[in-house]
Amino acid sequence: MSDSVSNTTFSDRNSGKSDLINPTLVLNCGSSSIKYALISEDESTRITGLAENLGLDTARIKHTTLNGEKLEITIPGGRHELALQKILALLEQYHFVAVGHRVVHGGREYSKAVRVDAHVLEEVKRLKILAPLHNPANALGIEAVQAIYPDIPQVVVFDTAFHQTMPAVAYRYPIPKALYEEEKIRRYGFHGTSHAYVSERASHITTAKGPHGWLTAHLGNGCSAAAVYDGKSLDTSMGLTPLEGLMMGTRSGDVDPGLHIHLKRLLGMSLEEINDMLNNDSGLLGISGLSNDLRTIEQAANEGHVDAQLAIEIFCYRAGKYLASLSCALPEFTGIVFTGGIGENSVTTRARILDVMRHFGIKFSEDKNKSLFGGGEGSFHDEDSSIELWVIPTDEECQIAKETRQTLGF
């Protein structure tokens, strides 16, 4: 391990080392943040942290040690490389055996996680054409680890890979064929590690005989749904980019593709401005005019704020409508799995979405639904419901660590 970081001193450097056996480091390097988790081989112990505000003078690392101690470390200048060096220095003492990176786009080329080599790194960079904000930051993370720990094996786990099992009927857009063949314009889908994790977990805990057909609803700041049958994604709501599909915190989800030309003609907006508006000023924030945070909106709605009430209604209506349509992809419909910050916590959102799907013969217990929040896992359907209903907290870090170990044969 490199001496360039091993001399860095932090207050937790000598805290309990013993519980993290053969840990895998999971890195999620974004354009302005880096999330990380060090996860033991048996997945029972982890250290987590977040570097935020990268690129700004206010950049800092929020780190929780193995003993639960919280640290804040400033990153002068806010550079990504420096943040990564500091994170690696904090974790060095635990002798991680592998690094797994969340990479947003794997294009058509990657249908599973792969070990990093020079070619894979080049591919991650080349695919920035499909994920301009994310893939370059992901590549930076790979290079920073390579520079400090050239001997530690690294794996990339693509957000898109799980959805590569989608058939052409689900992934092609009805646009000229040449755009698919020459420019790779198709639906890819995202949140793959989350949909993989919760569908696998649901199949593990249900008593229903397999193969199982799940609709997985990942409702967080970003929202997507997937139809997963027998462990394979058959369709999903996000497309070429993570803008398609459900209404989200600040993203619109589906709009008429004619909106772009209309706004250009009407308001003289540029494509970049429209893209920015649809990604950052829309969704829950756009309709409510208040916030992208559902908790704030729910509170305002309860106090009579009409736009907040409408934001929730549209969110649930669109989610229910999408889930209903995605059920067409499943040969059998075993159940719905709710996950993500909203899916795991908002009892009323789950109930409203299911109300939109009222023709499906779904029956559930309000009390059981109310009991599931704050990290709880469980089902809330009635015995005579047509399908099962589950809340399963997602664990993308755990899934990435698992796929990293599997890829390396550990």
Instruction: Show which residues are catalytic.
Output: 159
Nearest approach in angstroms of CB 250 to ligand ADP is 10
Give yes or no for residue 221 binding ligand ADP (CB under 6 A): yes
Beta pairing class for 34-39 and 46-52: antiparallel
**Token pair of 219 as six digits:** 């409702």
Q: What single DSSP character describes residue 3?
A: H
From candidates 85, 346, 404, 407, binder to ligand ADP by CB under 6 A: 346
Residue whose CB is less far from ligand ADP, 249 or 335: 249
Q: How far is CA 122 from the centre of its chain?
A: 23
Whose CA is closest to 311, among 255, 245, 252? 252
Orientation of helix 192-205 relative to helix 396-408, angle to 10° = 90
Give the 3-state secondary structure of 241-287. CCCCCCCCCCCCCCCCCCHHHHHHHHHCCCHHHHHHHHHHCCHHHHH
Enumerate residues 6+ apart whose C-beta is below 8 A from 124.
Answer: 103, 135, 138, 139, 142, 156
Residue whose CB is less far from ligand ADP, 131 or 329: 131
Give yes or no for residue 241 binding ligand ADP (CB under 6 A): no
Residue whose CB is less far from ligand ADP, 85 or 345: 345
Residue whose CB is less far from ligand ADP, 173 or 373: 373
From candidates 294, 308, 337, 392, binder to ligand ADP by CB under 6 A: 294
Size of the chain in residues = 410
Contact indicator for 250, 283 with CB cutoff of 8 Å: yes
From candidates 143, 230, 254, 293, binder to ligand ADP by CB under 6 A: 293
From candidates 91, 341, 350, 353, binder to ligand ADP by CB under 6 A: 341
Nearest approach in angstroms of CB 298 to ligand ADP is 6
User: Per-residue contact track with ligand ADP, 298 to 337, x per CB under 6 A?
Assistant: x---------------------------------------
Applying the rule CB under 6 A, the residues between 360 and 389 that interact with ligand ADP are: 373
Nearest approach in angstroms of CB 215 to ligand ADP is 18
Nearest approach in angstroms of CB 408 to ligand ADP is 27
Give yes or no for residue 295 binding ligand ADP (CB under 6 A): yes
From candidates 59, 342, 356, 387, binder to ligand ADP by CB under 6 A: 342
Contact indicator for 64, 70 with CB cutoff of 8 Å: yes
Enumerate residues 6+ apart whose C-beta is below 8 A from 286.
Answer: 250, 252
Whose CA is closest to 332, among 233, 214, 250, 236? 214
* Number of residues in contact with ligand ADP under rule CB under 6 A: 14
**Token pair of 302 as six digits:** 């309860």
User: Per-residue contact track with ligand ADP, 249 to 288, x per CB under 6 A?
Assistant: x---------------------------------------
Contact indicator for 152, 183 with CB cutoff of 8 Å: no
Give yes or no for residue 345 binding ligand ADP (CB under 6 A): yes
67 labeled part of a ligand binding site: no
**114 φ/ψ angles, rounded to the nearest 5 degrees:** -135, 155
Nearest approach in angstroms of CB 100 to ligand ADP is 18
Give yes or no for residue 340 binding ligand ADP (CB under 6 A): yes
**Token pair of 9 as six digits:** 């001193």
Residue whose CB is less far from ligand ADP, 157 or 342: 342
Contact stretch for ligand ADP (CB under 6 A) within 33-41, 220-228, 255-263, 314-322: 220-228
**Helix and strand numbers, DSSP H then E, in the chain:** 16, 14
102 labeled part of a ligand binding site: yes
**27 φ/ψ angles, rounded to the nearest 5 degrees:** -120, 130
342 labeled part of a ligand binding site: yes
User: Which residue type, as a one-letter code, is found at position 31?
Assistant: S
**Residue numbers belonging to the annotated binding site for substrate:** 102
Which positions touch ligand ADP (CB under 6 A)?
220-222, 249, 293-295, 298, 340-342, 345-346, 373
